[in-house]
Amino acid sequence: MAQVILRPDSVISSTGFDASSSDLLGLINDDDLNTFTSQNQTNAAIEVSLENSNEYVGGTITDIVLGATVSKNRAGNPDISLTLIDSNGIILFTQHTVTSSTPVNILNAAVDANSEGEILTPTTIDNLTVKLNPSTQGCRVFELFAIITFTPNLISKGTLKILQGQTKIINGKVTL
């Protein structure tokens, strides 16, 4: 099994945080716990699209885990809801209460199908969006991401040579 982490590649919308647009994107997709955006209004939300990857193309998607690295930034313990959406609708929804003022990963349980029970494929994994909605207590968002676990495609492109014997496969043609 192989894994790839998909990170945000654009901000669809945001409100109630101290950063927006490309500044927000740079803070939540850089895999750096020293950068974050802080909730500065009681009504807050972030929606981003996730990058696509060629790594799982042709492979079999085993599961997907939605995650965020967050912390609280005020006295209360905020509830944070995360929603992962594909072109057919919601794949998963999860909610977590954040009690730490230092960054923690919140991860949902791995799912292997969307909300209609359809098995995940590379096509359904492409063009995912993530919505983060915190409660009014305030939070910091360090990272948003999805972890895709997949079985890679075992078909090789190019030349495959069998060193012992007289068999050679070149660009899909077998020579004996």
10-residue mean pLDDT profile of the chain (176 residues): values are 95 97 96 96 96 92 93 92 86 89 89 79 89 95 95 67 59 59
pLDDT of residue 75: 82
77 CA to centre of own chain: 24
Q: What is the pTM of this model?
A: 0.83
Sorted by where each begins, the domain ranges of the chain are 2-175
pLDDT of residue 170: 62
Closest of 176, 64, 75 to residue 130, by C-alpha? 64
pLDDT of residue 137: 93
pLDDT of residue 166: 61
| Domain 2-175 indexed as CATH 2.60.120.260 | yes
pLDDT of residue 27: 97
Rg (CA), the chain: 20
Q: Which residues of 45-82 are buried (b: 16+ CB within 10 A; e: fewer)?
A: ebbbbbbeeebbeebebbbbbbbbbbbbbeeeebebeb
pLDDT of residue 56: 92
pLDDT of residue 22: 94
pLDDT of residue 167: 60
Closest of 18, 119, 106 to residue 69, by C-alpha? 106
Q: Give the full edge-to-edge strand order of the sheet including 159-161.
A: 159-161, 168-170, 173-175
pLDDT of residue 97: 93
- E strand or H helix that includes residue 26: helix 21-28
Q: How far apart are CA 134 and CA 61, in angstroms?
A: 30
